[in-house]
Amino acid sequence: MTNSTQAQVIVVGAGNWGKNLVRNFHALGALAGVAEAHPGLREAIATTYPDITTYTDFQTALATDVPALVLATPAPSHYELAMAALQAGKDVFVEKPMTLRTEEARKLAEYADKQGRILMVGHLLLYQPAIAWMRDYLASGKAGKVLHVATRRLKLGKVRTEENVWWSFAPHDVSVVLDLLGNPKLQSVQAQGHAILQPSIEDYVQVDLRFGSGQSAQINCSWYWPLTERSTVVIAEAQMLVYDEVSQTVTIHQKYIDQDLKHYDQGSEIVEVAASEPLKIECQHFLDCLHTRQTPRSDGWNGVAVVEILEEAQKSLHD
């Protein structure tokens, strides 16, 4: 059902992921148009959504009076397009990774703040109900202080030629790690990887993070793996949480080791978390922020923190 009072957006880029954003913003009654340079993709959008205006390029969309742009273009274009949109007075949703350089991400966040514009990054997993539940549960203190978060994102998947698996898979997990640890200040990054299929393009990457808070994290990702594994493990003082993204379950383990190194195990329980589409939640959150002018959960500074870790790990891979 559409809502005629909903804020309106133009989605720029209707490729593999952009078409999902088009679908969701249209379902929410907020899609004013789609800008797509590829004639075939543009024609497909016009056929599927005959009520929607299509544009042949970014500049034409930018010149409209629609107040917000959603950027689902290739990552190397994100900085230039997002900055142009902000400078034109638009609010901006930009897909992950926000940019390819921390310096550029910081410029976008600073400019958006200075101009009072909404800048949101597509860190989809932050809108996954299970992750949101874990964040709130950990914030309640029931599990004690969070000490370590470990994520695994492994599968036999599409191999890219222009980016390694770290830049392709890890932005989601980096955003989750920072969220569950309470957004601590980064202290150090150590990365190792293996380029099995193509020189200098890693197919398997493991990154260890340490933070000024004393907390730590490890992120594993691969697109050259026989099994599909997508999990987040939280080690806290009094409990351990395991989120299995494949089965969509969260398990609380009543396990810990005390200061005397004594082991405690009081069993486990599976938490029922309401299932809903995170992309729809993310899109609605952007629309809510446009209306209320509240700061998005995945705002520009969240994007900066994620890009910083992505960039530092990339440097560590090739030191």
Alpha-carbon gap, residue 166 to 297, rounded angstroms: 23
Residues forming CATH 3.30.360.10 domain(s) in the chain: 126-277+309-317
What fold does the segment set 9-123 form as a domain?
Rossmann fold (3.40.50)
Which residue is associated with the tokens 């917000």? 68
Residues forming CATH 3.40.50.720 domain(s) in the chain: 9-123
On whether the CB atoms of residues 165 and 206 are closer than 8 A, the answer is no
Alpha-carbon gap, residue 194 to 206, rounded angstroms: 9
CATH for the 126-277+309-317 domain, from 3.20.20.20, 2.60.120.280, 3.40.50.2300, 3.30.360.10: 3.30.360.10
On whether the CB atoms of residues 290 and 117 are closer than 8 A, the answer is no
Percentage of the chain exceeding pLDDT 90: 94
Is the four-CA dihedral 63, 65, 68, 70 of positive or negative sign?
negative
Alpha-carbon gap, residue 31 to 279, rounded angstroms: 15
Q: What is the pLDDT of residue 275?
A: 78
Q: What is the pLDDT of residue 3?
A: 44
- Helix count (H) and strand count (E) of the chain? 9, 14
What are the structure tokens assigned to 182, written together?
């309470």
The pLDDT tens digits for 19-71 are 999 999 999 999 999 999 999 999 999 999 999 999 999 999 999 999 999 99
β strands within the chain, DSSP E: 9-12, 31-35, 53-55, 68-71, 91-95, 119-122, 146-156, 186-194, 204-211, 216-222, 224-236, 240-244, 249-257, 263-271
Q: What average pLDDT values come out for the chain (319 residues) when binned by 10 residues?
A: 66 97 97 97 97 96 97 97 98 97 98 98 97 96 97 95 94 97 96 96 98 98 97 97 94 93 94 89 98 97 98 94
Q: What is the pTM of this model?
A: 0.94
Give the closest residue to 233 by CA, choosing from 155, 144, 173.
173
